[in-house]
Structure 1
């Protein structure tokens, strides 16, 4: 199972014999040693934590993202290696040349899969049958173009979020639920970005997302089908989140999202593996004209 290291104190982080060494700053004692082979990501939530340059280098070499949060505990910075793939120039040039029509068709497939994952979650939670059927209808009404997909996705998401949290819920309001969603999405986005770079792609060159102000357009395309993983965990704690901001305990729970199982080609993989296979499938779709395999989610397999 992926192991995400959560740093909440002002520890000193270094490396020795390919092991992460955590030193308690208060008494200068070693708290723990963990092999880099057993680490999937490091989340640092204390701005006074110190991390050695050699540790950062080794983490990047091993495609282990370092995610640094701001004072409000929202992910702000994450590490990306510049040359983590031996064919980086070839793959970025391929990415630039991906056909527009194929990108639009793939985006429609991604939205279709996302809506289906949302519908399945509402069904699992025994939410309104009317809302569940409406999501099914929006998915079936998708056409193979960007405009249709964006329109159907927006309507489906509004129904989905209000059914999941409350009729008054609005995405991007400043409240506990939105803070938790943002935290979870940003953690997944950072992990996905590191995987994109490891595959030789550039995270800014998106399929559908194209903003000149967004350095992670491709990451935002990839994350779409995985968002309900975060949504479900936040749903489980929504009554607490309506009253308080993100506690350390809640943040630790949210990190469990990246440790869940995902279905890819009818087999179960952890999230990290599923992203790897998903990116390989996308490249094969554009380069070899193969059918894209898009991950699906299975709520029953989650361990929260």
Structure 2
């Protein structure tokens, strides 16, 4: 079972040794079994990666994120064609009707807004939580009334203040963007592992975006990122810069607790179950078969 997320912030060489990741930095060497790794983020511009390692990472389903000069994820390495019935899944995606896609998007938006309401309630914004729950119950097929955007306006003002602007350059948005990138990479990884073509989205259809489907399925998980960033914001003053500690905290989010089908999972395991549930939902033409994550706590999953 994959359970590790790794950040490489120092220059060095990454290679393959005995089916393990070998990290060589200065005079030190570290090894990590590939089967343990879910996501690896490479920040340093002075890292060398060997082709055998990249091939082995793809075979093991490890998602590699490369960062730009601002230390923000800008590229992703995923496995390709590893699912045993790739053509079956592709046909299922291509042949899905527009009404069914709209119903699936409706379910996703509903759960996203419910999770936003949960976060608002958890931080003491009961009035906003009530409004959000009403909006969630009002989402129609395809979200024709754009309840998602209306809910976002209520939600972000409630948790970050009336003056908060999502597009502004500040420490809060920097952390939100980083956290979303990490979770999005995990969603894309799970979709690829289950044979889905990530460019074929349900709602997102940008021809320049190779991860439209991941952008659909990240939505119910965004409030978990928001919640952690809110906690960081309330516990201490957030600097405009994205600190190494903040990156570690946001990357650990993949091992936090969520609920899927009334069972507790890590975010990584819950994402996998969400990706797997798309097949029966499309095959049965039933959006209720989607196993979408629900928020229940802001803590790392415990297996005790």
- 1:122-141: per-residue Cα shift (whole Å, max 9, x none)? 111112x3212111121122
Deviation at 1:219, TM superposition (A): 0.3
Deviation at 1:300, TM superposition (A): 4.9
- 1:195-233: per-residue Cα shift (whole Å, max 9, x none)? 111111111100111112221110000100111111111
Distance 1:300 1:231 in 2: 11
Deviation at 1:288, TM superposition (A): 3.0
Deviation at 1:270, TM superposition (A): 1.5
Distance 2:209 2:114 in 1: 27
Instruction: Report the secondary structure of 1:182's partner residue.
Output: helix
* Alignment-derived partner of residue 243 in structure 1: 239
- 1:26-81: per-residue Cα shift (whole Å, max 9, x none)? 33x31x11111221211111011111111111011000101111111110111022
Of 167, 170, 192 in structure 2, the residue corresponding to residue 172 of structure 1 is: 167
* Alignment-derived partner of residue 267 in structure 1: 263
* Alignment-derived partner of residue 50 in structure 1: 48
Instruction: Report the secondary structure of 1:204's partner residue.
Output: coil
Moved more, 225-234 or 82-91: 82-91
**Aligned residue-pair number:** 298
Instruction: Report the secondary structure of 1:230's partner residue.
Output: helix
Deviation at 1:90, TM superposition (A): 2.3
Q: 1:241 to 1:157 in 2, by over 3 A?
A: farther
Distance 1:269 1:99 in 2: 31
Q: 1:74 to 1:16 in 2, by over 3 A?
A: same
Instruction: Report the secondary structure of 2:157's partner residue.
Output: helix
Q: How high is the TM-score relative to the length of structure 1?
A: 0.93
Deviation at 1:187, TM superposition (A): 1.0
Deviation at 1:99, TM superposition (A): 1.4
Distance 1:99 1:296 in 2: 27
Distance 1:39 1:242 in 2: 30
* Alignment-derived partner of residue 135 in structure 2: 138
* Alignment-derived partner of residue 222 in structure 2: 227
Determine if the alignment matches structure 1 residue 152 to structure 2 residue 153: no
Moved more, 5-14 or 85-94: 85-94
Of 262, 273, 278 in structure 2, the residue corresponding to residue 277 of structure 1 is: 273
Deviation at 1:194, TM superposition (A): 1.6
- Asked if the contact 2:156–2:164 (Cα under 8 Å) also holds between the matched residues in 1, the reply is yes
Deviation at 1:145, TM superposition (A): 3.1
Moved more, 283-292 or 185-194: 283-292
- Asked if the contact 1:12–1:23 (Cα under 8 Å) also holds between the matched residues in 2, the reply is yes
Instruction: Report the secondary structure of 2:272's partner residue.
Output: helix
* Alignment-derived partner of residue 188 in structure 2: 193
Moved more, 230-239 or 288-297: 288-297
Distance 1:289 1:136 in 2: 26
- Asked if the contact 2:4–2:36 (Cα under 8 Å) also holds between the matched residues in 1, the reply is yes
* Alignment-derived partner of residue 71 in structure 2: 73
Instruction: Report the secondary structure of 1:13's partner residue.
Output: strand
Deviation at 1:289, TM superposition (A): 3.8
- Asked if the contact 2:100–2:285 (Cα under 8 Å) also holds between the matched residues in 1, the reply is no
* Alignment-derived partner of residue 24 in structure 2: 23
* Alignment-derived partner of residue 2 in structure 1: 3
Long gaps (5+) in structure 1: none
Q: Structure 1 residue runs of 4+, over 6 Å off?
A: none
Instruction: Report the secondary structure of 2:11's partner residue.
Output: coil
- Asked if the contact 1:177–1:241 (Cα under 8 Å) also holds between the matched residues in 2, the reply is no
Long gaps (5+) in structure 2: none
